[in-house]
Chain A
Amino acid sequence: MEKLLELLQQDGQAGPETIAAQLGRPVEDVRAMIKECEESGVILGYHAVIDREKFGNAGVSALIEVRLTPERGGGFDRLAHRIARFEQVSSCYLMSGAYDLAVIVEGNDLREVARFVSEKLSTIEGVISTATHFQLKIYKQNGFLSKAEDEVRRLPVAP
Chain B
Amino acid sequence: MLPLSDRLAKQVAGLPRSGIRDFFDLVVGRDDVISLGVGEPDFTAPWNIREAAIFALEKGRTTYTANLGLLALRRAIAGYVKKQFEVAYSPETEILVTVGVSEALDLAFRALLNPGDEVIYHEPCYVSYSPSIVLAHGVPVPITTKVEDHFALLASDVAARITPRTKILMLNFPTNPTGGIQPRAELEKLAQLAIEHDLIVITDEIYSELLYGGDGGMELPEHTSIASLPGMKERTILLHGFSKAFAMTGFRLGYACAPPVLTEAMMKIHQYSMLCASIMSQYAAIEALEGGMDAVESMRQSYARRRNLMLQGFARMGLPCFPPGGAFYMFPDVRQFGLSSKEFAMRLLEEEDVAVVPGSAFGPAGEGFVRCCYATAIDKLEIALDRIENFVNRLK
Residues of A within 8 A of B (CB): 3, 7, 18, 21-25, 149, 152, 154-159
How many residues of chain B are within 8 Å of chain A by beta carbon? 35
B24 adjacent to A156 (CB under 8 Å): yes
CA distance A18 to B378 in the complex (A): 9
Q: A155-B39, A157-B35 are in contact. List 19 more A-B contacts (CB 8 A).
A: A18-B309, A23-B216, A23-B218, A23-B308, A24-B218, A25-B216, A154-B40, A156-B33, A156-B37, A156-B38, A157-B20, A157-B23, A157-B27, A157-B37, A158-B38, A158-B40, A159-B20, A159-B39, A159-B176
Q: Is the CB of B186 closer than 8 A to any CB of chain A?
A: no
A18 adjacent to B382 (CB under 8 Å): yes
CA distance A156 to B36 in the complex (A): 8
Q: Is the CB of B215 closer than 8 A to any CB of chain A?
A: yes
Query: For A23, A24, A149, which residue has the most chain B Cβ atoms within 10 angstroms?
Result: A24
A158 adjacent to B305 (CB under 8 Å): no
Partner of B28 from the list A18, A22, A152, A156 (CB cut-off 8 Å) is: A156
B18 adjacent to A3 (CB under 8 Å): no
Residues of B within 8 A of A (CB): 18, 20, 23-24, 27-28, 33, 35, 37-40, 42, 44, 126-128, 176, 215-218, 301, 305-306, 308-309, 311-313, 355, 357, 361, 378, 382
B34 to chain A, nearest CB (A): 9
Question: Which residues does chain B contribute within 8 Å of A25, judged by CB atoms?
Answer: 216
A152 adjacent to B44 (CB under 8 Å): yes
A-B contact pairs, 21 of them (CB 8 A): A21-B309, A22-B306, A23-B216, A23-B218, A23-B305, A24-B215, A24-B217, A24-B308, A24-B312, A25-B216, A149-B44, A155-B38, A155-B39, A155-B40, A156-B35, A156-B37, A156-B38, A157-B20, A157-B23, A157-B37, A159-B128
Question: Which residues does chain B contribute within 8 Å of A158, judged by CB atoms?
Answer: 20, 24, 37-40
B18 adjacent to A159 (CB under 8 Å): yes
Question: Which residues does chain A contribute within 8 Å of B218, judged by CB atoms?
Answer: 3, 23-24
B323's nearest neighbour on chain A, judged by CB, is A24
Given A23-B216, A23-B218, A24-B216, A157 contacting B309 (CB threshold 8 A): no
B357's nearest neighbour on chain A, judged by CB, is A157
A158 to chain B, nearest CB (A): 4
The 5 closest A-B pairs by CB, nearest first: A24-B216, A22-B305, A158-B39, A157-B37, A156-B35
Question: Which residues does chain A contribute within 8 Å of B301, judged by CB atoms?
Answer: 3
CA distance A36 to B368 in the complex (A): 46
Question: Which residues does chain B contribute within 8 Å of A24, judged by CB atoms?
Answer: 215-218, 308, 311-312
CA distance A142 to B255 in the complex (A): 38
CA distance A80 to B312 in the complex (A): 48
B354 to chain A, nearest CB (A): 11
A19's nearest neighbour on chain B, judged by CB, is B305
Partner of A156 from the list B27, B44, B176 (CB cut-off 8 Å) is: B27
A21 adjacent to B308 (CB under 8 Å): yes
B304 to chain A, nearest CB (A): 8
CA distance A156 to B308 in the complex (A): 23
Question: Which residues does chain B contribute within 8 Å of A23, judged by CB atoms?
Answer: 216, 218, 305, 308
B378 adjacent to A22 (CB under 8 Å): yes
CA distance A18 to B309 in the complex (A): 8
A150 to chain B, nearest CB (A): 10
A21 adjacent to B38 (CB under 8 Å): no
CA distance A22 to B28 in the complex (A): 30
Question: Which residues does chain B contribute within 8 Å of A21, judged by CB atoms?
Answer: 308-309, 312-313
A11's nearest neighbour on chain B, judged by CB, is B378
Question: Which residues does chain A contribute within 8 Å of B357, judged by CB atoms?
Answer: 157
CA distance A149 to B305 in the complex (A): 23
Question: Which residues does chain B contribute within 8 Å of A149, judged by CB atoms?
Answer: 44
A156 adjacent to B20 (CB under 8 Å): no
B5 to chain A, nearest CB (A): 25
A5 to chain B, nearest CB (A): 13
Question: Which residues does chain B contribute within 8 Å of A159, judged by CB atoms?
Answer: 18, 20, 39, 126-128, 176, 361
A20 to chain B, nearest CB (A): 8
A4 to chain B, nearest CB (A): 11
B382 to chain A, nearest CB (A): 7
B214's nearest neighbour on chain A, judged by CB, is A24
CA distance A79 to B48 in the complex (A): 40
CA distance A83 to B306 in the complex (A): 43
A157 adjacent to B216 (CB under 8 Å): no
B128 adjacent to A156 (CB under 8 Å): no
CA distance A149 to B42 in the complex (A): 13
CA distance A24 to B126 in the complex (A): 29
Question: Which residues does chain A contribute within 8 Å of B382, judged by CB atoms?
Answer: 18
CA distance A21 to B308 in the complex (A): 6
